[in-house]
């Protein structure tokens, strides 16, 4: 199957529109990233991969930025295999793949055949969607929009967050992107009375937003800060005209999934995140 690489976000958006029929939560990654690239173009030296594989009954889309995994979402197995062929030619050091089980399984099989690298399951992800916010218990303190004065605190918190979860990101990239996202108003903080939690969001697409990351300082957990903050942020985003909100959780983390369910987020689908590793010596 032919793979088309896109350099124009609008062309990519038009091509991936049919993916919404396979689940809006999953498809929101593709349209959200493309819209964000229009608002804040990536640096010239950052790797960006936007690709589609469509035709003969096959539908697929893929995105990958910098050193992160490739996201194939609900792509057909044939499309996922084609993306593996395309990426292996110039990016054999790919970190991993994220998407529905069938597409991921096809990708890792082909990747092993092409590169010799094995894979290990990092996490099973659950995608959620919200259209209305439920009432949640009050928490001490109050939310506010982050300001420039919070950038250093947020960058330090995000570095701790990615280290805690083992996310493939770097403190350097976090420090570079944080001022831009704060300037756009894309981070909220919960104060009690000093900052104890934060939530970010990507407000790119006209009718939806993705909420991430969400983090509470380790010694301030269990007080309902994150629940109250995400609920407040979600209400504000809906009030701005967003039709849907999306977020991702670890499917094996019942407390986290329960928190978001109380707010009104409903599970839509599950994805697999597999890492590629070298063959044992």
Which structural domain, as residue segments, surrounds residue 194?
132-242
Q: Structurally, how many domains does the chain consist of?
A: 2
pLDDT for res 228: 98
Q: DSSP assignment of 74-105, as one string? A: T--HHHHHHHHHHHHTT-TT--EEEE-HHHHH
Round to whole Å and give the CA distance between 109 and 34.
28
Tell me how many degrees the CA angle 134-140-143 measures, rounded to the nearest 5: 65
Same domain, 90 and 43: yes
Same domain, 67 and 97: yes
Which CATH number do you get for residue 157? 3.40.630.30
pLDDT for res 104: 97
Same domain, 82 and 20: yes
Q: For residue 166, what pLDDT band results from cuts at 50, 70 and 90? A: confident
Q: For residue 280, what pLDDT band results from cuts at 50, 70 and 90? A: low
Q: For residue 169, what pLDDT band results from cuts at 50, 70 and 90? A: low
pLDDT at 170 over 70: no
For residue 251, is it within any domain? no
pLDDT for res 94: 95
For residues 12-40, average pLDDT: 93
Q: Which of 27-41, 216-230, 260-274 has the lowest mean pLDDT?
A: 27-41
pLDDT for res 203: 84
pLDDT for res 264: 98
Same domain, 148 and 77: no
Same domain, 158 and 84: no
Tens of pLDDT, residues 218-229: 999 999 999 999
Contact present, 181 and 208 (Cβ < 8 Å): no
For residues 54-59, average pLDDT: 93
Cα-Cα end-to-end distance for the chain:
34
Same domain, 15 and 117: yes
% of the chain surpassing 70 pLDDT: 97
Same domain, 136 and 96: no
Same domain, 97 and 45: yes
Contact present, 209 and 44 (Cβ < 8 Å): no
């Amino acid at each position: 199957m032919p793979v088309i690489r896109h350099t124009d976000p609008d062309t990519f958006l038009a091509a991936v529109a049919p993916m919404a029929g396979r689940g809006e939560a999953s498809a929101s990654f593709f349209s959200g990233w493309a819209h964000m690239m229009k608002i804040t173009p990536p640096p010239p030296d950052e790797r960006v991969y936007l690709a589609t594989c469509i035709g003969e009954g096959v539908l697929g889309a893929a995105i990958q930025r910098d050193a992160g995994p490739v996201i194939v979402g609900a792509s057909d197995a044939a499309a996922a295999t084609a993306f593996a062929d395309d990426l292996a030619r110039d990016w054999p050091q790919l970190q991993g793949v994220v998407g529905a089980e069938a597409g991921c399984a096809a990708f890792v099989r082909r990747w092993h055949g092409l590169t010799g690298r094995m894979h290990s399951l990092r996490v099973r992800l659950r995608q959620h969607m919200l259209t209305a916010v439920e009432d949640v218990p009050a928490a001490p303190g109050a939310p506010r929009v982050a300001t420039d004065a919070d950038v250093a605190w947020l960058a330090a918190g995000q570095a701790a967050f990615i280290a805690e979860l083992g996310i493939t990101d770097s403190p350097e990239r976090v420090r570079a992107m944080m001022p831009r996202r704060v300037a756009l108003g894309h981070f909220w903080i919960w104060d009690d009375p000093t900052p104890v939690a934060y939530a970010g969001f990507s407000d790119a697409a006209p009718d939806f937003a993705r909420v991430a990351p969400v983090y509470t300082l380790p010694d301030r957990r269990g007080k309902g800060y994150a629940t109250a903050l995400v609920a407040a942020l979600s209400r504000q985003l809906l009030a701005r005209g967003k039709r849907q909100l999306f977020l991702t959780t670890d499917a094996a983390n019942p407390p986290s999934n329960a928190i978001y369910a109380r707010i009104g987020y409903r599970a839509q689908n599950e994805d697999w995140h597999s890492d590629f590793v070298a063959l044992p010596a």
